[in-house]
Structure 1
Amino acid sequence: MNDDVLAGHLQELRRGTVVMAALATLTRPTYGYALLEELAASGFAVDGNTLYPLLRRLEKQGLLTSEWNTEESRPRKFYRCTAEGEALLTALLDEWQSLHTAIEGLR
């Protein structure tokens, strides 16, 4: 198998799951850079140029809230799932499991 072909398909797969990964992590307040690090440590590396626009989009959709923390030396914007975001995560994970089961049945 061509490594470039595999890399392209893996990128597509990850792009489709980054919302689930972000929502799953943001069940507790986290700022952007810490979210990048946590995702990478879990084996889900995401580029900042992908993550930050995603966070803004999810917030605009009412799936996340944000709040600035200015108590530390460096102000940071913390994100957290709303109830709607947690409901979406549950629905996406259910669908993910259903798709996994269906694909396993095809093998």
Structure 2
Amino acid sequence: MTVQPLPAAVGPAPVMRYVEDQRDDSLSLTATARRLPSVLARTLRLAWHADRRALIGMLAAQVAAAVLAALALTTTTRLIAVTLTAVTAYGGTSPSPPPSTPPRPRPGG
């Protein structure tokens, strides 16, 4: 049994386009923004028909990621605010610990 080599590809790979895309290759930003809702709706319909559970799982993961990103940004903002308040309270220098009291002698020592 001999193995035949695969035929070499001829030319560039085909590009998938919507029928509307073949009219004009130089779409402006406004035209692209105008078409975005219909393209997103078409994509969601295709994904819904392909695998509903995967689509719902992906949407849930995206919502969870957005919530966690918002929490991280809120926490970072609060941390920076506290740090800047501390720096301002100490006159623009790095905060130093409060004055310490002299160590107490150990009992029996």
Normalising TM by the smaller chain, what interval?
A: under 0.3
Structure index of larger Rg: 2
Q: Which has the higher strand share?
A: 1
Provide the TM-score with structure 2 as the length reference.
0.27
Higher percent of residues as helix? 1
TM-score (structure 1 length as normaliser): 0.27
